[in-house]
Amino acid sequence: MTEKLCVTGMSGRLGGILRRALAADFELVALNRSRVPGVPTIRADLGRPDSIGDALAGIDAIVHLAAYPFADDRADVIVPTNVLGTLHLLEAARRAGVRRIVFGSSLSAIGGHRAAFLDLCRKRPFLTAARKVAFLEGLESPRPDSLYGVSKVFGEALCRLYVDRHRFSCVCLRLAEVRPDDRPNPRDPHGARIMCRHSDFVAGVRAAVAHTRRPGFELRTLISDDFRDPAPPGGSGRRKPGARVPRGAARRA
C-alpha cells in the first residue's frame, strides 16, 4: 500500500523539492499555513496547536520542514515557530497515533565547529562525503552558530524526548545548505564543501522515512561530496580533476 506522507512547510524550497520528487511514490499531504496547489493541504499554523486538531489522523509518517530559516537571531519569531511549533506538531502526532517523524535539522546545530571543519577541508580538498560526515559526527556535541541553530538543537531534543516517552521513531537530518539553483554558494569559497545537492536531499529523506519503520532515534548528517562548478548559470560546469562524485554521493542518511 502507498504510504500517506505529511510534509510540513511544503510551500518552501525544501518542501517543493520533495513534492516534485516524491509524488509518484507516496500519497502526499501538506501541512501548511497556505494551500499547496495540487496537494491535499491541512491548513494549520504550528504556532497555534488548536489549528491542527485531529487533522493528522490516518497519516503514516511526517517530514517536518516548516521553520523560520534565517539566522538573524529573531527570537520573537524563531522560538514560537521553530521550537514551540515542533513541540505542537509532535504532540498533535501523538494524539493522532502517528509515531514516525523525520525532522529537518541543520548543520547550524553544530555550526560552531565550522572553523575546524574548514581547516580540515583546506588540508584535504577532496574529502568524500563519508569522510566529512565522520569528522562532523566526531564533533557530535551541539555547538550552534545562531539562535536558528539553537532552535534545531531544541528540535532534536524534543524528538529524543518523544522517542523515549512516547515510543516514537524519529530520524533527525542535519542538513547542509540546499541551494535553490543546486550550485555552490558563489559568495562562499568553501560552499561546495558543505552543501547538499537536491538529489542527495531527496535520497536522504527517502532513506530516513524508510528507517522510521523501526522504533528508535537516529541523528544523521546529510552532506554532498565536494565538487566545483565555476560555470555561469546555463553553462556547462566542470568538476575539478580528481573530484569524482558518484551519483547519490551523500552519505549516512
Where residue 98 falls (left for φ over 0; alpha for ψ -120 to 50; beta otherwise) is beta
CA distance 103 to 239: 32
CA distances from 144 to 122, 172, 178, 186, 247 (A): 22, 15, 18, 24, 30
Count of all residues that appear for the chain in the document: 253
Here the cell at position 205 is 529523506
CA distance 38 to 29: 10
Q: Let me know if 148 is a catalytic residue.
A: yes
Helices (H), 53-143: 75-78, 85-96, 114-123, 129-138
Helices (H), the chain: 13-22, 75-78, 85-96, 114-123, 129-138, 147-166, 198-211
Distance of CA 53 to the CA centre of its chain: 25
CA distance 117 to 94: 38
Q: Residues 148, 162, 168, 227: which is the catalytic one?
A: 148
CA distances from 81 to 27, 49, 137, 147, 168 (A): 26, 11, 27, 12, 22
Which residues are annotated as catalytic?
A: 148
